[in-house]
Amino acid sequence: MNLITLNKINLIGKWENEKCHLSFHIFKTKNQYYYTFKSEIREISDSLDIIKEDKSIYLNFKGIKWSENKGELGPEYFEEIPDSLIQEKKEILPIGISALFDSKEENFVIQNYGNAMNYYTKLKEGCEKYLYFNKKKSTSKDTLNIISNFLSKSIKNHTVLHWEKGDINNDNINDFIVVLQNEYPNKELTGMDNSYSRIVVLLETLEHYPNFKIASINHNILECSNCGGAGVGDPFIGISIKNNYFSIEQLFGACDKSFIVTTFKYENNKWFLHKIGQDDYSCNQVNENGEIKVIHKMKTKKDFGLIEFKNYK
């Protein structure tokens, strides 16, 4: 098996045959592939092996029993022969179905039934001899649902407010930074009934999307939903990811405002505070040319030392 070739194949995701209403959802756990097969009448889950023979790659879906396997058909299927002269053959149904994977076309195909010389049917729901499965493209809604379902298993009573995609650990694979908001307001934050606390979660993608692990969580970097002040309200502006860095942007104030960008850098398998940039300006301070005067401030490691993302306050 050529592992270099196989590692380039992104099998994880949903593969569909729309005409026959069939699908395989492929995922990976601890270096083993698994699948869930769905049709209109059943659902099957088991493991999946990848086999390379010469230049061909086959997917072996374990645990699926063939529907029929009669082998070579006798004359009783084509001629009128008395039942007393027909010798019944014991039908042995194999378990496991192989598919030929095409990396260029990004699909895989199952030959679902044979011919008179070798009569079989693998998937009884298959409506064609050759069943082609194409990968379903993920949409923003799909990504939101996948992230929400994953995080809800370990972080309760929170919903996804915002997510950003990008490589945050220098492995050339897109990861995710997710902002979660508490489902229940906390009046103690501001004295107002509609104040919601927020946390930031770093999700590392393991080999292929959507295999994740929670890499780090910070409960303090983002202020609450209306902690931005009378003029701003919600202080959260956005998140940007570039190279080994990511930045979180917030805006505070009314007439007098502060725009703060907090940047972290990936080093030694962790994320550390890299710098804090702040722009202060006021609607009452305008230059002679009519532009608002902006005061730039910057803090670096020399000012705050070594602070890991999860410990930043």
Q: CA 250 to CA 228: how far, in whole Å?
A: 8
Q: Give pLDDT, residue 8.
A: 54
- The whole-number pLDDT of residue 1 equals 42
DSSP code at position 313:
-
DSSP 136: P
Residue 82 backbone dihedrals phi, psi, to 5 degrees: -55, 145
pLDDT, the chain, mean: 89
pTM of the model: 0.65
The whole-angstrom separation of Cα 307 and Cα 263 is 12
Q: Give residue 277's Cα distance to chain centre.
A: 32
Helix (H) or strand (E) run with residue 114 in it: strand 113-115
The answer, yes or no, to whether residue 226 has pLDDT greater than 50, is yes
Instruction: Give the confidence band of 85 by pLDDT, cuts at 50, 70, 90.
Output: very low
Q: Let me know: does 183 contact 159? Beta carbons within 8 Å.
A: yes
Nearest to 50 by CA among 5, 105, 95: 5
pLDDT given at position 86? 45
pLDDT at 210 (0 to 100):
80
Q: Read off the pLDDT of each residue in 253-262 and give the average, rounded to a whole number.
A: 95
Question: At residue 82, does pLDDT exceed 60?
Answer: no
| Alpha carbon distance 237, 252 (integer Å) | 10
Instruction: Find the mean pLDDT for residues 45-66.
Output: 94
CA neighbor of 202 nearest in space, from 100, 82, 108, 310: 310
pLDDT digits (tens, 9 = 90+) for 180-225: 999 999 888 878 888 999 999 999 998 777 889 999 999 999 999 9
Share of the chain above pLDDT 70, in %: 91
